[in-house]
Amino acid sequence: MIKTVAFHLQKGGVGKTTISGTLACQSALAGFKTLLVDVDPQGNASSWFLKNATKYELVDVIQGKCFWNDAVVEIPQIPNLFLLPTFGIGGNLKNYSETKLAEEPFVIQDLIAELSGAYDRIILDMSPGLGRLERAALIASDEVITPMTPEVFSLDGLEIFIDELDKIKKNLRSNVKHTKIVINSFDNRIKQHRDIYSAACTGVFSVFKIPVDPLFRKAQEAGMAPQVFKKYGKGLKASTIESFTALDLAIWR
């Protein structure tokens, strides 16, 4: 059974935070006790859902400065959603991953094992890159899903990721599943988008599409779940809701 899912590609700006945060909301709104772990030193998922500063962050738990339940916060505006935050400003995850993490490649795996008894589902929002921090988070996951945007170099990026993941799995004896790709900001009217979609459908991967939807950014600014946020009476597009329902079903079934 899949319990911990990470969204990862070494590139930035492909929708890792948007998809992991929206999927976490989808799961929480459906009544599952869901933990979103912010494993990105930039802390974007945390600034999305947290209105006020909190005392502890993920790296404090990893370093034994507090217990995990001192750092996890319940998100009041989204029932069943919990966040293990990282502070983008003034946070210590970046420094830790550059100095101490090399000696402790399994710390995130150990932490997730401890957390998994307390939550129905765990979702990791990852940082771009394929360094120590991303490796440590990848091997802590049951499944990694690759988000990509339909751009010229995106298939190269996917190939690089597949190769690197293979090495990580061998070197760190991980069994993480990698069978899904999400093409984000997809527009069916654009030929290049359709071509990249076809090229990604090699038979090896299940390929999902998420349309361009300006409501994501607005919901992020408002600190809300995109599924319930409305601007001038309008919410997410029907096609966006359909995409997330399909992705959610495919992951947790």
Ligand X SMILES: Nc1ncnc2c1ncn2[C@@H]1O[C@H](COP(=O)(O)OP(=O)(O)O)[C@@H](O)[C@H]1O
Q: Given the rule CB under 5 A, which residues bind Mg ion?
A: 16-17, 44
**Which residue of 18, 34, 46, 86 would you call a contact of ligand X, by CB under 6 A?**
18
Measured over the CA atoms of residue 113, residue 114, residue 119 and residue 124, the dihedral's sign is: negative
Distance CA 65, CA 92 (A): 12
Give the shortest CB-27-to-ligand X separation in angstroms. 17
CA distances from 92 to 44, 102, 207 (A): 14, 15, 36
- Does position 134 bind ligand X by CB under 6 A? no
Closest CA relative to residue 241, chosen from 26, 78, 20:
26
- Does position 14 bind ligand X by CB under 6 A? yes
Who's near 170: CB < 8 A, 6+ residues apart?
A: none
Contact of residue 14 among Mg ion, ligand X, none (CB under 5-8 Å per partner type): ligand X
Could you tell me whether strands 34-39 and 81-84 are parallel, antiparallel, or unpaired per DSSP bridges?
parallel
Number of residues forming the site for ligand X (CB under 6 A)? 17
Nearer to ligand X, 14 or 81 (CB): 14
Q: Stretches 7-15, 65-73, 111-119, 156-164: which one binds ligand X (CB under 6 A)?
A: 7-15
Nearer to ligand X, 172 or 222 (CB): 222
- Binding to ligand X, residues 194-233 (CB under 6 A): 210, 212-214, 216-217, 220
Contact of residue 231 among ligand X, Mg ion, none (CB under 5-8 Å per partner type): none
Nearer to ligand X, 113 or 162 (CB): 162
Give the shortest CB-56-to-ligand X separation in angstroms. 23
Closest CA relative to residue 84, chosen from 69, 98, 97:
69
Which string of DSSP letters, residue by residue, matches 18-65?
HHHHHHHHHHHHTT--EEEEEE-TT-HHHHHH-SS--S--HHHHHTTS
Give the shortest CB-170-to-Mg ion separation in angstroms. 27
Distance CA 35, CA 46 (A): 12
Enumerate binding residues for ligand X (CB under 6 A).
12-18, 44, 184-185, 210, 212-214, 216-217, 220
